[in-house]
Chain A
């Protein structure tokens, strides 16, 4: 076990903290943060996985991370819009 990468531990920890947060937190904004923690853990894991080619890092997982970040941020931004709407239901327009 001596050679275990600290970042592998961090990636696993981020995913686990995120899942834990999703399960125990009730506020949707906290749940959204927890989901993003899971996402960050997955991205970190992908970057670790990319380090195995002899000539430079593997670009395929890197591309997956870049795509994943943009998807995660767009979906999170949509989630934040929903949370803002949920927090102030009284004024209703655009229905």
Chain B
């Protein structure tokens, strides 16, 4: 198995180099997406299957679709030639030396990390029974360090607002990506199983690999598929319900955190009897907000509509 790890690591490095030095932008993007998938594979090897799921769905999948979509928008004349090899100039040579020095130091530093276990991680595992979920990562994200996750929902929302500020108005009814291998009927066929998988992942986050982020990403992927086949299109008007769903995760999270203070004495703490249902409620509302935000980041529109027949 060491051999497999070595090959994976080598491929990661080669793809990273390719991503930086590829002559064409498209090749760089493809190298980046393949790298994301191999990274996910490496994470399975490193006992992190839930992160592998997230990386494959969000980091390689959705981001890949976004990157390719952007590439299609760039005018061919605007892509100037790059000279990214170290022997192409002074700046390149200096950066290469700097990068090499940093890589050596980082590798040594990672190699010599202290042998004793991390106090925070041990505490998390020791208190898992009280967290309301069986999956340690979900417990950290939704309970032990839930505040980080809540703020992260703010990041997602503001990235969406920012993307909408710079959007160019689109002609309503135009499909987002007309050329695709998927036909609408095929997409209709795939939709129910994909939705089921997404919802299952959200639900399963409590016990096994999965969770709001992975499930949300798969749900967003279902939306992307509908948009690609033209069954769903971006609309330039948003509705109260849509904005409400986008903010739902953060609002449910905060409300639960504030309302229960009289019971628990701490902000964002959950009372023993209620903790499991609360976790599930929070997880589903987060997944809905995540899925919608990612989908709208893909369509680049404030709203969504079914396509007119």
Contact = CB atoms under 8 A, between A and B. Distances in A.
Query: Which secondary structure characterizes the binding site on chain A?
Result: helix
Contact of B136 (A14, A29, A56): A56
A23 B85 CA distance: 12
B137 A76 contact: no
Contacts of B62: 73
Query: Which secondary structure characterizes the binding site on chain B?
Result: helix
B16 A18 contact: yes
B253 interface: no
Nearest to B47: A57
Nearest to B13: A13
| B-side interface size class | 35 or more
B75 interface: yes
Contacts of B5: 5-7
Contacts of B100: 16
Interface in A19-42: 19-21, 23-27, 29-30, 33-34, 36-37, 40
B29 interface: yes
Nearest to A61: B121
Interface of B: 2, 5-6, 8-10, 12-13, 16-17, 19-20, 25, 28-29, 32, 35-36, 39, 42-43, 46-48, 50-51, 54-55, 58-59, 62-63, 66-67, 69-71, 73-75, 78-80, 82-84, 88, 91-92, 95-96, 98-100, 102-107, 110-111, 113, 115, 117-118, 120-122, 124-125, 136-137, 139-141, 145, 148-149, 152, 155-156, 159-160, 162-163, 165-169, 211, 213, 290, 293-294, 297-298, 300
19 contacts: A6-B5, A6-B10, A9-B9, A11-B106, A14-B16, A15-B106, A16-B102, A18-B20, A20-B95, A44-B42, A49-B110, A52-B113, A53-B118, A60-B145, A70-B152, A78-B160, A81-B162, A82-B166, A92-B168
